[in-house]
Every structure is written in C-alpha cells, then in structure tokens.
Structure 1
Amino acid sequence: MTSEKHTHIPLLSVRLAVPSKLGDRQVPTGIVKEATAGPVAVTEMGLAGDFQADRRLHGGPDKAIYHFAAETYDTLKQALPHLTSRFSSPCVGENFSTLGMTDDSVYIGDIYRVGSAVLQVSQPRMPCWKLNQHVGNGHMMALLIQLNQTGWYYRVIEPGDVSAGDVFEQLDRVQDDFSVADIWQHWVHLREQKKQVASPISITGLSPQWRFDW
C-alpha cells in the first residue's frame, strides 16, 4: 500500500548555526541556530552560511540539511515538563522546522521540492552528547532515540534557494517500507541484541553509514 504523500507543507523557519561553545571545556558547536528571513542558497554541502563544528559527525553531502518535526516538541514537553520553556525550534539544532511531516510519515529516499531546491531524505539524525549539554538534561539524546523521533537529514539533488514560508512538495516516494522512525526502531533492536551495525542493506536513498543487517 502506497503511503500518503506530503504536499503544501509550509517551511516554518530556516535557521543557520551560530558558532558557539559548550561546557567548561568550551567545546565548539553549531547546535545554536538563528532564523534568517531572506532567501538562503542551498548547495550540495548544505545551506550557505551554516556551520558545523565537527564535520566528522555533521554536515557533508548525506547530511547537508537537518529537519526536525515541530510536533515532537509537544512530546518532549510531556516527557520533561520541567524543561517546557526550552522546547521550541531550534532547540535541537535543526535547520528546517515544519508541522505536518514527522519521523513516522517521512520515508528514507523521499524527494521534495522546497523553494527552488530539490532534496532527498537520506538518514535519521544521530543525536550526540552536545544535545544533552545544550538542553541541560543528560537524558535528551536517549529520549529522542527511544521515541524514534530524532529528525532527519537531506542530501541535495538540485541546488536552489529556500525561504521561510516556502512549501514542501513531495516529488517522489522511492520506497514506502521504511520510514525514518522504522530505521531507528531496527537500530535500537540491534543494540538490544548486541549485534554489530555493519552489514549492507538495500534501502533506496539510505546513506551508506546507515546500511546495516536486517
């Protein structure tokens, strides 16, 4: 059965990283983001003017732009009510925010036009310890993984420009078996079974580093 496609989903915000530092060790980070009002150029490496402190873990062709569902902040408020004031975009460091696209309804390989750019969903976002420190809660990373709601990355198929208020139009769904949340569910299962995430898997559009044995 073919899953329903996303059309006319407004892009609520476009945010670019502000070089910042975390903790007593003053570790560089790009998790702090600020909104930009005008058009932003989209290149194969991401949004013009964006910043990644550690390019081993963030950025690059398969992690060019990070999208987080605004709906997930309501879930986080319920789970950690004492941090309610923190939970709004761009708390987790997202570039894009929307209502109407979630980790359950977005599928690996989905292709979207937004503004004049064409993007493809490539993988879930793997949270890191910097998120815990940024939010001020040592369980944030684990909570998002437990919820299967970490957001997703795009690779850029066609460069262009994007602005807040542009709409997402789904051009293609190349497979409808594996949502972003499905990938996390299996990853957690492998961890629970103490199996290695190593063997290749054939899911169209999935980043090479996430191809594992099912």
Structure 2
Amino acid sequence: MTRERSGARVLAVSVGAVGDLPWRDRAIRSAIAKKPVAGPVPVTALGLAGDEQGDRSRHGGPDKALCVFPVEHYRHYERLLERRLDRPAFGENLTTTGLNEGETRIGDVLRVGEAVLQVSLPRNPCYRLGARYGVRELPVWFERSGRTGFYLRVLSEGEVQAGDAIELLDRPRPHATIAEANRVMHHDRHDHAAVEALLVPELGASWRRTFERRLAGQIDDPASRRYGPE
C-alpha cells in the first residue's frame, strides 16, 4: 500500500525548551514556542530529540510523541488573529503540506524520513494556545473549524528532517478520520454510534477514556482545557 500522500511532505521540524508563558496575572511553564531545526533530528518513542513539554500530564508521551500541523491552515488563523504567523506558530513538531484532517485516519501508518509513525488522535486545543497569542477564544476557534492538527506515535525510530516525503504505508481504519473524531469530540457529543465506531485500538488513550465515559453517560466539561484552571 506504500504511496506518497499526494506530494505530502515535511516543511519544518521543530523543537522547544520549557520556558515561562504569560497567562492572566502569572506565568505558566510551556514549550509551545518551538523553533525549526536544520538537518536530521532523531525521533525516539517519546518524540524529537531536544523537545520538551511543560505539562507532561497532558502533553507528550507515546501517544503524543509528535504533533503535526498542516501549513494549509495558517492563512485561516492569520485572518482570525490579524497577524502573520511564522512556523511553527502553534507548537507543532512537524509543519506539513499535503495532509488534512478530512483525509488523515486514526491508525494511518506513515513513513517520514527514517521513522515509521502512526496517527493516534487529534490535537485537543488547550488554553496555552490562547495564552501564546493573548486570545482567550483561540482554542474554541480550533474546535469550531476542525483545523486542529493531530498526533503521531512512533513505531520505528529514525531521523526526520525538513523536506522529507510522507508515505502512507497502511490504513487499517478507513472510516476513522481525524475530522470525524473532532466532530464527535467537540460538536456531536451524544452521537454514541459514532463514538463506538471511533473506539479503534489505535486511538490514543486520553480520547479513548473520554469516549468510554461518554458511552457510560458522563459528559466532560471542556472549560478548564479551553480557558485554564481558575
């Protein structure tokens, strides 16, 4: 099944160190302000060498080893934010072209450079996005548009770099698009049939727990994720 994703490739590979991010009347620890790296970067089971996370309970880990964000979404957010955005604008590790949420499936196995990666779950936008740009509603804009990006887990370690082609090696779950997962998570929260269809083995653990709670009648409150703790 190996094929390039219609010219899909990596435009930038980026890492970041944890630092202070102004939020309300204080600073929070975050590595959202990442910078592109020139040349090959090693990928391990926990992500790119040199990359850090400010909140390891919600970011990083095997299911979220690499964050992907399509460059095609930049113009949309530039219009909303009324400013030019430099890559990586949203703390992504891989800024890509040729991928989107409507065509990318949970469970897709991708070769990028020397690494073999698997799509695990959509990005769940949190208040750190709003803090970076001083726009409280930015996470909600992500949810409404469905232009969220997504995460990858690492199946085989290797090096990646800007310019690498993205090849689709396998697609075990043709129905489970990132767009469909976003729809169910953020909009049609009581669509139990869709929730059940998305509970595929490849779905990342955090979304699996949320969807399983919904099937049990427990609906989550997204306020703290969107706007931060009080």
TM (norm. structure 2) is: 0.82
Deviation at 1:90, TM superposition (A): 1.0
Deviation at 1:89, TM superposition (A): 2.0
Find the aligned partners of 2:55 and 2:114 in 1 and give their Cα distance.
28
Code of the residue aligned with 2:49 in structure 1: it is A
Structure 1 residues without counterparts, runs of 5 or longer: none
2:50 is the counterpart of 1:49 = yes
Across the two proteins, how many residue pairs are aligned to each other?
A: 205
Residue matched to 1:100: 98
Q: What percentage of residue pairs aligned between the two structures are identical?
A: 38
For residues 25-174 of structure 1, what are the structure 2 equivalents within 5 Å?
A: 25-78=26-79, 80=80, 82=82, 84-85=83-84, 87-174=85-172
Deviation at 1:6, TM superposition (A): 1.4
Residue matched to 1:187: 185
Code of the residue aligned with 1:207 in structure 2: it is G
1:40–1:145 CA distance, 2 compared to 1 (3 A): same
1:152-202 deviation per Cα after TM superposition (whole angstroms, max 9, x unaligned):
0000000001111111111011111121111010112354x599xx98953
Code of the residue aligned with 2:157 in structure 1: it is P
Residue matched to 2:13: 14
Find the aligned partners of 1:53 and 1:181 in 2 and give their Cα distance.
27
> What is the root-mean-square deviation of aligned Cα atoms in Å?
2.3
Code of the residue aligned with 1:10 in structure 2: it is R
Deviation at 1:56, TM superposition (A): 0.2
TM (norm. structure 1) is: 0.88
Structure 2 residues without counterparts, runs of 5 or longer: 216-230
Find the aligned partners of 1:28 and 1:155 in 2 and give their Cα distance.
24
Find the aligned partners of 2:125 and 2:199 in 1 and give their Cα distance.
24
- Contact 2:7 2:98 (C-alpha < 8 Å) held by counterparts: no
Deviation at 1:28, TM superposition (A): 0.9
Find the aligned partners of 2:5 and 2:153 in 1 and give their Cα distance.
18
1:81-108 deviation per Cα after TM superposition (whole angstroms, max 9, x unaligned):
52x22x3421110000111101111111
